[in-house]
Structure 1
Amino acid sequence: MDKTEISTRPERKTQSWTQDPEGVRRNILEAARIEFVEHGLRGARVDEIAAKTATSKRMIYYYFGDKEGLYRAVLEAMYERIRSFERGLDLSALPPREAMAKLAGFTFDYHAENPDFVRMVMIENIHHARHLSSSAKIAELNLSIIGVIRDIYERGVAQRLFRPGLSPLDIHLTTSALSFYNVSNRATIRQVFDHDMGAPEVLARRRQTVVETILAMLRR
Protein backbone atom coordinates (compact mmCIF):
# COMPACT_ATOMS: atom_id res chain seq x y z
CA MET A 1 0.00 0.00 0.00
CA ASP A 2 1.57 3.35 -1.01
CA LYS A 3 1.31 6.73 0.74
CA THR A 4 -1.15 8.06 -1.83
CA GLU A 5 -3.67 5.32 -1.02
CA ILE A 6 -3.32 5.92 2.73
CA SER A 7 -3.90 9.66 2.40
CA THR A 8 -6.97 9.46 0.17
CA ARG A 9 -9.10 7.07 2.24
CA PRO A 10 -10.01 9.50 5.05
CA GLU A 11 -10.71 12.16 2.43
CA ARG A 12 -13.36 9.96 0.78
CA LYS A 13 -15.14 9.58 4.12
CA THR A 14 -14.98 13.32 4.74
CA GLN A 15 -16.34 14.07 1.28
CA SER A 16 -19.20 11.61 1.81
CA TRP A 17 -20.14 13.33 5.06
CA THR A 18 -19.93 16.88 3.72
CA GLN A 19 -21.60 16.18 0.37
CA ASP A 20 -24.44 13.92 1.57
CA PRO A 21 -24.95 14.14 5.34
CA GLU A 22 -28.46 12.66 5.15
CA GLY A 23 -27.16 9.74 3.11
CA VAL A 24 -24.48 9.11 5.73
CA ARG A 25 -27.11 9.27 8.48
CA ARG A 26 -29.28 6.71 6.67
CA ASN A 27 -26.24 4.50 6.15
CA ILE A 28 -25.46 4.60 9.89
CA LEU A 29 -29.07 3.83 10.83
CA GLU A 30 -29.19 0.83 8.48
CA ALA A 31 -25.96 -0.64 9.86
CA ALA A 32 -27.10 0.08 13.42
CA ARG A 33 -30.47 -1.61 12.82
CA ILE A 34 -28.73 -4.82 11.78
CA GLU A 35 -26.39 -4.68 14.78
CA PHE A 36 -29.13 -3.98 17.33
CA VAL A 37 -31.46 -6.65 15.92
CA GLU A 38 -28.67 -9.22 16.07
CA HIS A 39 -27.15 -8.33 19.44
CA GLY A 40 -29.63 -6.15 21.32
CA LEU A 41 -28.78 -2.80 22.86
CA ARG A 42 -26.28 -4.12 25.38
CA GLY A 43 -24.49 -6.46 23.00
CA ALA A 44 -24.26 -4.07 20.04
CA ARG A 45 -20.91 -2.38 19.47
CA VAL A 46 -20.50 1.05 17.90
CA ASP A 47 -17.11 -0.05 16.52
CA GLU A 48 -18.86 -2.75 14.49
CA ILE A 49 -21.47 -0.30 13.24
CA ALA A 50 -18.78 2.19 12.17
CA ALA A 51 -16.87 -0.55 10.35
CA LYS A 52 -19.95 -1.24 8.18
CA THR A 53 -20.63 2.39 7.27
CA ALA A 54 -19.10 5.14 5.17
CA THR A 55 -18.17 7.14 8.27
CA SER A 56 -16.31 6.88 11.57
CA LYS A 57 -17.18 6.13 15.19
CA ARG A 58 -16.56 9.80 15.95
CA MET A 59 -19.12 10.89 13.37
CA ILE A 60 -21.68 8.41 14.73
CA TYR A 61 -21.38 10.11 18.10
CA TYR A 62 -21.58 13.50 16.35
CA TYR A 63 -24.92 12.55 14.78
CA PHE A 64 -26.50 10.59 17.64
CA GLY A 65 -24.68 11.48 20.87
CA ASP A 66 -24.08 7.96 22.19
CA LYS A 67 -25.09 4.34 21.63
CA GLU A 68 -28.47 4.82 23.33
CA GLY A 69 -29.14 7.87 21.18
CA LEU A 70 -28.38 5.80 18.08
CA TYR A 71 -30.63 2.98 19.30
CA ARG A 72 -33.45 5.45 19.91
CA ALA A 73 -32.98 6.89 16.41
CA VAL A 74 -33.26 3.38 14.93
CA LEU A 75 -36.52 2.86 16.82
CA GLU A 76 -37.83 6.19 15.58
CA ALA A 77 -36.95 5.33 11.98
CA MET A 78 -38.68 1.95 12.24
CA TYR A 79 -41.88 3.41 13.68
CA GLU A 80 -41.81 6.20 11.11
CA ARG A 81 -41.60 3.61 8.34
CA ILE A 82 -44.68 1.62 9.36
CA ARG A 83 -46.72 4.75 10.08
CA SER A 84 -45.67 6.19 6.71
CA PHE A 85 -46.88 3.07 4.90
CA GLU A 86 -50.18 3.24 6.81
CA ARG A 87 -50.70 6.85 5.76
CA GLY A 88 -50.19 5.80 2.14
CA LEU A 89 -53.06 3.29 2.19
CA ASP A 90 -55.65 6.04 1.52
CA LEU A 91 -58.19 4.33 3.77
CA SER A 92 -60.46 7.36 4.00
CA ALA A 93 -61.50 6.76 0.38
CA LEU A 94 -62.75 3.22 1.14
CA PRO A 95 -66.02 2.04 2.73
CA PRO A 96 -65.55 1.23 6.45
CA ARG A 97 -65.50 -2.59 6.23
CA GLU A 98 -63.14 -2.56 3.25
CA ALA A 99 -60.91 0.02 4.91
CA MET A 100 -60.63 -1.97 8.15
CA ALA A 101 -59.97 -5.20 6.25
CA LYS A 102 -57.25 -3.50 4.23
CA LEU A 103 -55.62 -2.08 7.35
CA ALA A 104 -55.73 -5.44 9.16
CA GLY A 105 -54.24 -7.21 6.13
CA PHE A 106 -51.54 -4.59 5.76
CA THR A 107 -50.62 -4.82 9.45
CA PHE A 108 -50.28 -8.60 9.21
CA ASP A 109 -48.21 -8.37 6.02
CA TYR A 110 -45.93 -5.66 7.39
CA HIS A 111 -45.04 -7.67 10.49
CA ALA A 112 -44.51 -10.84 8.45
CA GLU A 113 -42.26 -9.05 5.96
CA ASN A 114 -40.35 -6.99 8.55
CA PRO A 115 -39.29 -9.34 11.35
CA ASP A 116 -36.59 -6.84 12.37
CA PHE A 117 -39.35 -4.46 13.46
CA VAL A 118 -40.82 -7.17 15.69
CA ARG A 119 -37.38 -7.97 17.09
CA MET A 120 -36.67 -4.33 17.95
CA VAL A 121 -40.03 -3.96 19.70
CA MET A 122 -39.25 -7.11 21.72
CA ILE A 123 -35.84 -5.71 22.67
CA GLU A 124 -37.38 -2.42 23.76
CA ASN A 125 -39.88 -4.30 25.92
CA ILE A 126 -36.93 -5.94 27.69
CA HIS A 127 -35.80 -2.40 28.52
CA HIS A 128 -39.31 -1.51 29.78
CA ALA A 129 -39.82 0.96 26.91
CA ARG A 130 -37.29 3.35 28.46
CA HIS A 131 -36.16 4.67 25.09
CA LEU A 132 -39.66 4.94 23.67
CA SER A 133 -40.69 7.01 26.69
CA SER A 134 -37.84 9.45 26.06
CA SER A 135 -38.82 9.99 22.41
CA ALA A 136 -41.48 12.63 21.79
CA LYS A 137 -41.25 11.78 18.08
CA ILE A 138 -42.39 8.18 18.57
CA ALA A 139 -45.28 9.21 20.81
CA GLU A 140 -46.49 11.63 18.14
CA LEU A 141 -45.97 9.13 15.32
CA ASN A 142 -48.02 6.43 16.98
CA LEU A 143 -51.00 8.68 17.62
CA SER A 144 -51.58 8.80 13.86
CA ILE A 145 -52.71 5.17 13.59
CA ILE A 146 -55.26 5.66 16.37
CA GLY A 147 -56.67 8.61 14.44
CA VAL A 148 -56.89 6.53 11.27
CA ILE A 149 -58.75 3.73 13.06
CA ARG A 150 -61.06 6.19 14.83
CA ASP A 151 -62.09 7.69 11.50
CA ILE A 152 -62.87 4.29 9.95
CA TYR A 153 -64.65 3.04 13.06
CA GLU A 154 -66.81 6.13 13.49
CA ARG A 155 -67.85 5.97 9.85
CA GLY A 156 -68.76 2.33 10.33
CA VAL A 157 -70.80 3.06 13.46
CA ALA A 158 -72.61 5.92 11.71
CA GLN A 159 -73.53 3.56 8.87
CA ARG A 160 -74.68 0.92 11.39
CA LEU A 161 -72.01 -1.50 10.16
CA PHE A 162 -69.93 -1.57 13.35
CA ARG A 163 -71.21 -1.97 16.88
CA PRO A 164 -70.75 1.09 19.10
CA GLY A 165 -68.74 1.23 22.32
CA LEU A 166 -65.36 -0.03 21.09
CA SER A 167 -62.10 1.79 21.59
CA PRO A 168 -59.90 2.58 18.57
CA LEU A 169 -56.93 1.66 20.75
CA ASP A 170 -58.42 -1.79 21.48
CA ILE A 171 -58.95 -2.35 17.75
CA HIS A 172 -55.32 -1.41 17.10
CA LEU A 173 -54.01 -3.58 19.94
CA THR A 174 -55.98 -6.61 18.77
CA THR A 175 -54.79 -6.22 15.18
CA SER A 176 -51.18 -5.70 16.27
CA ALA A 177 -51.24 -8.60 18.73
CA LEU A 178 -52.50 -11.07 16.13
CA SER A 179 -49.91 -9.88 13.60
CA PHE A 180 -47.01 -9.61 16.06
CA TYR A 181 -47.44 -13.08 17.56
CA ASN A 182 -47.17 -14.72 14.17
CA VAL A 183 -43.57 -13.45 13.98
CA SER A 184 -42.44 -13.19 17.61
CA ASN A 185 -43.39 -16.79 18.47
CA ARG A 186 -42.50 -18.43 15.19
CA ALA A 187 -39.51 -20.36 16.54
CA THR A 188 -41.26 -21.70 19.66
CA ILE A 189 -44.42 -22.70 17.77
CA ARG A 190 -42.28 -24.59 15.26
CA GLN A 191 -40.52 -26.43 18.08
CA VAL A 192 -43.60 -27.18 20.19
CA PHE A 193 -46.11 -28.02 17.45
CA ASP A 194 -43.87 -28.71 14.44
CA HIS A 195 -45.80 -25.94 12.70
CA ASP A 196 -44.08 -23.33 10.54
CA MET A 197 -45.99 -20.06 10.84
CA GLY A 198 -43.71 -18.55 8.21
CA ALA A 199 -44.65 -20.99 5.45
CA PRO A 200 -46.44 -19.21 2.57
CA GLU A 201 -49.63 -21.27 2.77
CA VAL A 202 -49.77 -20.86 6.56
CA LEU A 203 -49.24 -17.12 6.28
CA ALA A 204 -52.10 -16.84 3.80
CA ARG A 205 -54.49 -18.71 6.12
CA ARG A 206 -53.41 -16.73 9.18
CA ARG A 207 -53.77 -13.46 7.30
CA GLN A 208 -57.34 -14.31 6.36
CA THR A 209 -58.07 -15.35 9.94
CA VAL A 210 -56.74 -12.03 11.28
CA VAL A 211 -58.83 -9.99 8.86
CA GLU A 212 -61.96 -12.02 9.65
CA THR A 213 -61.33 -11.76 13.40
CA ILE A 214 -61.10 -7.97 13.29
CA LEU A 215 -64.24 -7.68 11.19
CA ALA A 216 -66.08 -10.06 13.53
CA MET A 217 -64.95 -7.95 16.48
CA LEU A 218 -66.50 -4.87 14.86
CA ARG A 219 -69.61 -6.41 13.34
CA ARG A 220 -72.90 -5.03 14.61
Structure 2
Amino acid sequence: MVTAPPLPAKRRKSASWTQDPEGVRRDILAVARAEFVENGLSGARVDEIAAKTSNSKRMIYYYFGDKEGLYRAVLEEAYARIRTFERSLDLAALPPREAIATLTGFTFDYHADNPDFVRLVMVENIHHGRHLASSTKISVLNLSAIDMIREVYERGLADGLFREGLDPIDIHLTISALSFYNVSNQASIRQVFGHDMAAPEARERRRRSAIETVLRMVCR
Protein backbone atom coordinates (compact mmCIF):
# COMPACT_ATOMS: atom_id res chain seq x y z
CA MET A 1 0.00 0.00 0.00
CA VAL A 2 1.41 3.37 -1.05
CA THR A 3 -0.31 6.31 0.61
CA ALA A 4 0.35 10.00 0.94
CA PRO A 5 1.91 11.15 4.24
CA PRO A 6 -0.47 12.21 7.03
CA LEU A 7 -1.20 15.86 7.62
CA PRO A 8 1.26 17.49 10.03
CA ALA A 9 0.44 18.54 13.55
CA LYS A 10 0.26 22.29 14.12
CA ARG A 11 3.69 23.87 14.37
CA ARG A 12 4.57 26.57 16.89
CA LYS A 13 5.40 29.83 15.17
CA SER A 14 8.60 30.18 17.15
CA ALA A 15 10.59 27.46 15.34
CA SER A 16 9.18 27.93 11.87
CA TRP A 17 10.74 29.18 8.70
CA THR A 18 14.14 30.41 9.91
CA GLN A 19 15.05 27.04 11.45
CA ASP A 20 13.30 24.69 9.01
CA PRO A 21 12.09 26.45 5.85
CA GLU A 22 11.61 23.20 3.92
CA GLY A 23 9.62 21.73 6.80
CA VAL A 24 7.35 24.79 6.85
CA ARG A 25 6.90 24.51 3.09
CA ARG A 26 5.97 20.83 3.38
CA ASP A 27 3.47 21.59 6.15
CA ILE A 28 1.80 24.30 4.08
CA LEU A 29 1.56 21.98 1.07
CA ALA A 30 0.07 19.16 3.14
CA VAL A 31 -2.65 21.36 4.63
CA ALA A 32 -3.27 23.07 1.30
CA ARG A 33 -3.68 19.69 -0.38
CA ALA A 34 -6.47 18.77 2.03
CA GLU A 35 -8.18 22.13 1.51
CA PHE A 36 -8.06 21.93 -2.28
CA VAL A 37 -9.26 18.31 -2.25
CA GLU A 38 -12.21 19.19 -0.01
CA ASN A 39 -13.18 22.57 -1.45
CA GLY A 40 -11.60 22.83 -4.88
CA LEU A 41 -9.50 25.75 -6.03
CA SER A 42 -12.37 28.24 -5.93
CA GLY A 43 -13.64 27.22 -2.50
CA ALA A 44 -10.30 26.88 -0.69
CA ARG A 45 -9.29 29.83 1.49
CA VAL A 46 -5.72 30.88 2.21
CA ASP A 47 -6.89 32.20 5.60
CA GLU A 48 -8.00 28.69 6.53
CA ILE A 49 -4.75 27.15 5.33
CA ALA A 50 -2.73 29.71 7.29
CA ALA A 51 -4.73 29.05 10.46
CA LYS A 52 -4.22 25.29 10.24
CA THR A 53 -0.46 25.62 9.79
CA SER A 54 0.05 28.46 12.31
CA ASN A 55 1.64 30.46 9.50
CA SER A 56 0.58 33.87 8.24
CA LYS A 57 -0.93 34.49 4.83
CA ARG A 58 2.12 36.63 4.17
CA MET A 59 4.39 33.63 4.76
CA ILE A 60 2.32 31.48 2.38
CA TYR A 61 2.50 34.18 -0.28
CA TYR A 62 6.26 34.44 0.33
CA TYR A 63 6.68 30.77 -0.56
CA PHE A 64 4.07 30.39 -3.29
CA GLY A 65 3.16 33.83 -4.64
CA ASP A 66 -0.62 33.53 -4.47
CA LYS A 67 -3.38 30.95 -4.07
CA GLU A 68 -3.01 29.69 -7.62
CA GLY A 69 0.74 29.35 -7.12
CA LEU A 70 0.07 27.30 -3.99
CA TYR A 71 -2.43 25.14 -5.85
CA ARG A 72 0.06 24.59 -8.68
CA ALA A 73 2.71 23.55 -6.16
CA VAL A 74 0.26 21.04 -4.64
CA LEU A 75 -0.35 19.58 -8.11
CA GLU A 76 3.37 19.39 -8.80
CA GLU A 77 3.99 17.57 -5.55
CA ALA A 78 1.14 15.13 -6.26
CA TYR A 79 2.43 14.24 -9.71
CA ALA A 80 6.04 14.08 -8.53
CA ARG A 81 5.02 11.59 -5.86
CA ILE A 82 3.32 9.09 -8.18
CA ARG A 83 6.08 9.38 -10.78
CA THR A 84 8.72 8.77 -8.08
CA PHE A 85 6.98 5.59 -6.95
CA GLU A 86 6.63 4.45 -10.58
CA ARG A 87 10.39 4.79 -11.08
CA SER A 88 11.01 2.77 -7.93
CA LEU A 89 9.30 -0.21 -9.59
CA ASP A 90 12.43 -0.63 -11.77
CA LEU A 91 10.40 -1.94 -14.71
CA ALA A 92 13.51 -2.13 -16.89
CA ALA A 93 14.69 -5.05 -14.76
CA LEU A 94 11.48 -7.04 -15.34
CA PRO A 95 10.42 -9.11 -18.38
CA PRO A 96 8.04 -7.02 -20.56
CA ARG A 97 4.81 -8.85 -19.71
CA GLU A 98 5.58 -8.80 -15.98
CA ALA A 99 6.56 -5.14 -16.20
CA ILE A 100 3.21 -4.13 -17.72
CA ALA A 101 1.31 -6.21 -15.15
CA THR A 102 3.35 -4.69 -12.31
CA LEU A 103 2.78 -1.14 -13.54
CA THR A 104 -0.96 -1.71 -13.93
CA GLY A 105 -1.32 -3.25 -10.48
CA PHE A 106 0.73 -0.46 -8.90
CA THR A 107 -1.27 2.27 -10.65
CA PHE A 108 -4.56 0.69 -9.59
CA ASP A 109 -3.41 0.42 -5.97
CA TYR A 110 -1.94 3.92 -5.91
CA HIS A 111 -5.20 5.50 -7.01
CA ALA A 112 -7.21 3.38 -4.58
CA ASP A 113 -4.88 4.18 -1.66
CA ASN A 114 -4.60 7.89 -2.52
CA PRO A 115 -8.08 9.20 -3.35
CA ASP A 116 -6.80 12.74 -2.73
CA PHE A 117 -4.75 12.42 -5.91
CA VAL A 118 -7.86 11.50 -7.87
CA ARG A 119 -9.80 14.41 -6.38
CA LEU A 120 -7.02 16.86 -7.28
CA VAL A 121 -7.00 15.65 -10.87
CA MET A 122 -10.79 16.03 -10.99
CA VAL A 123 -10.50 19.59 -9.65
CA GLU A 124 -7.90 20.44 -12.28
CA ASN A 125 -10.12 19.06 -15.04
CA ILE A 126 -12.86 21.44 -13.90
CA HIS A 127 -10.34 24.20 -14.62
CA HIS A 128 -9.57 22.70 -18.05
CA GLY A 129 -6.04 21.72 -17.05
CA ARG A 130 -4.74 25.30 -17.22
CA HIS A 131 -2.52 24.95 -14.14
CA LEU A 132 -1.02 21.75 -15.51
CA ALA A 133 -0.36 23.59 -18.76
CA SER A 134 1.50 26.36 -16.94
CA SER A 135 3.81 23.94 -15.08
CA THR A 136 6.92 22.85 -16.95
CA LYS A 137 7.77 20.56 -14.04
CA ILE A 138 4.56 18.53 -14.41
CA SER A 139 4.98 18.30 -18.17
CA VAL A 140 8.46 16.80 -17.80
CA LEU A 141 7.32 14.46 -15.02
CA ASN A 142 4.43 13.06 -17.03
CA LEU A 143 6.45 12.60 -20.20
CA SER A 144 8.75 10.35 -18.18
CA ALA A 145 5.79 8.04 -17.51
CA ILE A 146 5.23 7.61 -21.26
CA ASP A 147 8.93 7.02 -21.85
CA MET A 148 8.89 4.27 -19.24
CA ILE A 149 5.99 2.50 -20.99
CA ARG A 150 7.64 2.98 -24.38
CA GLU A 151 10.79 1.22 -23.17
CA VAL A 152 8.79 -1.77 -21.91
CA TYR A 153 6.63 -1.90 -25.03
CA GLU A 154 9.63 -1.84 -27.37
CA ARG A 155 11.26 -4.67 -25.44
CA GLY A 156 8.03 -6.63 -25.73
CA LEU A 157 7.93 -6.03 -29.49
CA ALA A 158 11.54 -7.16 -29.87
CA ASP A 159 10.74 -10.36 -27.98
CA GLY A 160 7.68 -11.01 -30.16
CA LEU A 161 5.36 -10.77 -27.13
CA PHE A 162 3.45 -7.56 -27.86
CA ARG A 163 1.21 -6.54 -30.73
CA GLU A 164 2.54 -4.01 -33.19
CA GLY A 165 0.96 -0.64 -33.85
CA LEU A 166 0.18 0.45 -30.29
CA ASP A 167 1.01 3.92 -29.04
CA PRO A 168 2.52 4.10 -25.52
CA ILE A 169 0.17 6.97 -24.69
CA ASP A 170 -2.82 4.69 -25.35
CA ILE A 171 -1.40 2.06 -23.01
CA HIS A 172 -0.91 4.72 -20.35
CA LEU A 173 -4.43 6.09 -20.82
CA THR A 174 -5.97 2.62 -20.54
CA ILE A 175 -4.09 1.90 -17.32
CA SER A 176 -5.02 5.31 -15.91
CA ALA A 177 -8.68 5.04 -16.89
CA LEU A 178 -9.12 1.63 -15.28
CA SER A 179 -7.47 2.89 -12.09
CA PHE A 180 -9.03 6.36 -11.93
CA TYR A 181 -12.65 5.36 -12.51
CA ASN A 182 -12.56 2.87 -9.67
CA VAL A 183 -12.04 5.81 -7.30
CA SER A 184 -13.68 8.79 -9.02
CA ASN A 185 -17.06 7.09 -9.44
CA GLN A 186 -17.36 5.22 -6.15
CA ALA A 187 -20.15 7.44 -4.80
CA SER A 188 -22.31 7.37 -7.94
CA ILE A 189 -21.89 3.61 -8.47
CA ARG A 190 -22.84 3.00 -4.85
CA GLN A 191 -26.01 5.07 -5.22
CA VAL A 192 -27.05 3.79 -8.66
CA PHE A 193 -26.18 0.10 -8.29
CA GLY A 194 -25.74 -0.41 -4.56
CA HIS A 195 -22.23 -1.68 -5.31
CA ASP A 196 -19.28 -0.70 -3.11
CA MET A 197 -16.26 -0.46 -5.39
CA ALA A 198 -14.02 0.10 -2.37
CA ALA A 199 -14.97 -3.15 -0.65
CA PRO A 200 -11.88 -5.40 -0.42
CA GLU A 201 -13.27 -8.23 -2.53
CA ALA A 202 -14.64 -5.84 -5.17
CA ARG A 203 -11.39 -3.91 -5.31
CA GLU A 204 -9.31 -7.07 -5.73
CA ARG A 205 -11.63 -8.33 -8.46
CA ARG A 206 -11.36 -5.02 -10.35
CA ARG A 207 -7.60 -5.01 -9.89
CA ARG A 208 -7.26 -8.43 -11.50
CA SER A 209 -9.60 -7.35 -14.29
CA ALA A 210 -7.54 -4.20 -14.93
CA ILE A 211 -4.32 -6.20 -15.25
CA GLU A 212 -5.96 -8.77 -17.54
CA THR A 213 -7.47 -6.02 -19.71
CA VAL A 214 -4.15 -4.25 -20.23
CA LEU A 215 -2.30 -7.50 -20.94
CA ARG A 216 -4.93 -8.46 -23.54
CA MET A 217 -4.47 -5.04 -25.08
CA VAL A 218 -0.71 -5.34 -25.51
CA CYS A 219 -0.02 -9.07 -25.85
CA ARG A 220 -0.25 -11.12 -29.02
TM-score by length of 1: 0.94
Partners of 1:163 and 1:37 in 2: how far apart?
39
Tell me by how many angstroms 1:54 deviates. 3.9
Partners of 1:54 and 1:89 in 2: how far apart?
37
Partners of 2:210 and 2:119 in 1: how far apart?
21
Contact residue 162 and residue 218 of structure 1 kept, 8 A: yes
- Which structure is larger by alpha-carbon Rg, 1 or 2? 1
**Deviation string for 1:87-130 (max 9, x for gaps)?**
00011000000000000000000000000000000000000001
Letter paired with 1:166 = L
Structure 2 residue matching 1:18: 3-state secondary structure: coil
Alignment map for 1:8-87 (pairs within 5 Å): 13=13, 15-87=15-87
Partners of 1:56 and 1:202 in 2: how far apart?
45
Tell me by how many angstroms 1:15 deviates. 3.3
Structure 2 residue matching 1:162: 3-state secondary structure: coil
Partners of 2:14 and 2:44 in 1: how far apart?
25
Structure with bigger helix share is: 1
Alignment-derived partner of residue 6 in structure 1: none
Letter paired with 1:174 = T
Same amino acid, percent of matched pairs: 74
Tell me by how many angstroms 1:14 deviates. 5.0
Contact residue 40 and residue 123 of structure 1 kept, 8 A: yes
Alignment-derived partner of residue 152 in structure 1: 152
Partners of 1:40 and 1:14 in 2: how far apart?
31
Gaps of 5+ in 1: 1-11
Structure 1 residue matching 2:61: 3-state secondary structure: helix
Partners of 1:14 and 1:217 in 2: how far apart?
57
Letter paired with 1:89 = L
The answer as to 2:194 corresponding to 1:190 is: no
Give RMSD over aligned pairs.
0.8
Partners of 1:14 and 1:61 in 2: how far apart?
19
Letter paired with 2:30 = E
Structure 2 residue matching 1:28: 3-state secondary structure: helix
Alignment: residue pair count:
209
TM-score by length of 2: 0.94
Letter paired with 2:56 = S
Partners of 2:88 and 2:51 in 1: how far apart?
35
Letter paired with 1:190 = R
Tell me by how many angstroms 1:13 deviates. 1.9
